[in-house]
Chain A
């Protein structure tokens, strides 16, 4: 069964460093998303992406964040200058709008630890 994959599974970085989180969405999906979950808190929406542009973003998704689809298969989230409060599990998701709805499928997540 097709699935969303994410790399790395765990990333440790120093405060102020740039990180890039990578995702490979399900191949026939056209809508891509990033969410994050700080330990013990709710899953929070960051950004949605369609047709090579951001379709919606949350207040969390400030100028430190960017997303890109550099080729036909990868979808990346870049954090330019990481802060301690960026430590969280980051989930990528993808979906295909159909007559059955817009079911989002999630990857296993990347645990980001900022020291």
Chain B
């Protein structure tokens, strides 16, 4: 069964800290992996897409890595800000569908 797990479930950090969110998946036959941000009661905003052939992808203060063989991805957020507070979702693409993790709830304190 294709499952995606995210650790930690919740994280609270002071403003300015660098942090790492973890994602693991059971089926390594992936097309790509997306990281999303979800604000309470809102839709999903795509942050980064990393293709199965890539090791890493960067956008601004965000850096995502992918180790397909071990079934892991990390999202690194540099110099966190209160506006980064949200739920971060990892989603693995198996062709036509995305399989989501439960998310990491991030709170950045000012």
Chain A interface residues (CB < 8 Å from chain B) = 31, 33, 35, 41-45, 48, 50, 55-56, 58, 91, 100-109
Contact = CB atoms under 8 A, between A and B. Distances in A.
A50 B96 CA distance: 10
B101 A45 contact: no
Interface of B: 31-32, 34, 36, 42-46, 49, 51, 89, 91, 93, 95-103
A43 B89 contact: yes
Contacts, number: 59
Main secondary structure of the interface of B (DSSP, over half): strand
A42 B38 CA distance: 12
A101 B30 CA distance: 12
A103 B49 contact: yes
Given A101-B31, A101-B32, A101-B51, A56 B46 contact: no
